[in-house]
Amino acid sequence: MRRWLADRWVMGAALLVLGYLSLPILVVAGLSFNRPSSRLSYDFNEFTLDNWTQPCATSDMCDAVIRSMEIGLIATVVSTILGTLMAFALVRHGFRGRAGINGLIFLPMATPELVMGTSLLALFVAAGVPQGFWTIVIAHVMFCVSFVVVTVKARLAGMDRRLEEAAMDLYASEWQTFRRITLPLVLPGIVAAALLAFSLSFDDFIITNFNAGTTVTFPMYVWGAAQRGIPPQVNVIGTAMFVIALLLVGASSLRGRRARRAALAAPVAPRPSAMSGS
């Protein structure tokens, strides 16, 4: 009886906390259907679909969203490549100076964003680099690389080396082994890292704010608009981001479940089919 109560108590508290965590998202979704009474009002007024049918009614906002996506895509591609190469070196190779490299990767994750933002600003000003689109990209690649390294490294470290050894035993060249065994096995880690990098870049405000010059990203638009009055379409973007991310998570977990079920149904554990082609 006592245990039963203890179990329920913890679960009840957990659900309350989850409610606290979800409340703002529900409010954002609700406000996306709101026609505010004035530009500076944050209260519910009346229901409307206008914000969803005309998401770009305030064109500055959509420009900012597109700019954030461009920056996010470039920063994601560059940081994913740099970080994946580093992860391979760290997991697969011995080299001198490992502690230094680990420190260099770890420190950006432990440094307050504020300090990274101001220090990069100090560098750009001292070097006379004009701030704008490309300085934002540089900053975003910088703080995304570490997260890519950690994510890909985790996947690589958990990989069964014997699959590659088997390929080499079967006379696959090193490049063939990499292309047909290693890469497909690491790919989920790389994709996860890229998604993480994109979401970090798309949502970054503090570092961007110090290095943007006059370029306006979506978070910077929201920051500026918070003073002048927020157009309700901001909540449409917020809700859409949430739904897209949720769909991505749902799709990947469905795929995972299907793959597991297929593996269970097969009489023999599935072999990497890529081998048969070489």
Between residue 218 and residue 277, which ones bind other proteins under the rule CB under 8 A?
218-219, 222-223, 226, 230, 234-235, 237-239, 241-242, 245-246, 249, 253
Shortest spacing between CB 155 and other proteins, in angstroms: 9
167 binds other proteins (CB under 8 A): no
Binding span for other proteins by CB under 8 A among 152-160, 179-187, 261-269, 270-278: 152-160
Shortest spacing between CB 251 and other proteins, in angstroms: 13
Listed in sequence order, the DSSP H helices in the chain are: 2-31, 50-53, 59-92, 98-110, 113-127, 133-157, 161-169, 174-177, 183-203, 206-211, 218-228, 233-265
Binding span for other proteins by CB under 8 A among 47-55, 105-113, 177-185, 264-272: 105-113
56 binds other proteins (CB under 8 A): no
Shortest spacing between CB 268 and other proteins, in angstroms: 28
As a whole number of angstroms, the distance between CA 205 and CA 75 comes to 15
Q: Which residues ranging from 17 to 36 are in contact with other proteins (CB under 8 A)? A: 17-18, 20-25, 27-28, 31
Residue with the two structure tokens 């770890």: 106
Binding residue (CB under 8 A) for other proteins from 57, 91, 163, 166 = 91
CB atoms within 10 A of CB 6: 10
Nearer to other proteins, 25 or 266 (CB): 25
Binding span for other proteins by CB under 8 A among 52-60, 143-151, 177-185, 262-270: 143-151
As a whole number of angstroms, the distance between CA 246 and CA 252 comes to 10
CA–centroid distance for 8 within its chain: 34
Shortest spacing between CB 188 and other proteins, in angstroms: 15
Binding span for other proteins by CB under 8 A among 7-15, 47-55, 178-186, 262-270: 7-15
Tell me the residue type at 79. Answer: S
Binding span for other proteins by CB under 8 A among 53-61, 180-188, 201-209, 260-268: 201-209
Query: Between the CA of residue 18 and those of 15, 53, 150, 151, 242, what are the distances in Å?
Result: 5, 31, 27, 26, 16
Read off the DSSP letter of residue 274. G
Binding residue (CB under 8 A) for other proteins from 49, 85, 187, 254 = 85
Q: Tokens at residue 46, please? A: 């009346």
As a whole number of angstroms, the distance between CA 200 and CA 79 comes to 11
Shortest spacing between CB 184 and other proteins, in angstroms: 19
Binding residue (CB under 8 A) for other proteins from 55, 64, 76, 151 = 151
Residues near 226 by beta carbon (within 8 Å), at least 6 away in sequence: none
Q: Tokens at residue 53, please? A: 């049918």
Binding residue (CB under 8 A) for other proteins from 181, 185, 196, 216 = 196
Binding-residue total with other proteins (CB under 8 A):
97
Query: Between the CA of residue 53 and those of 50, 233, 245, what are the distances in Å?
Result: 5, 10, 21
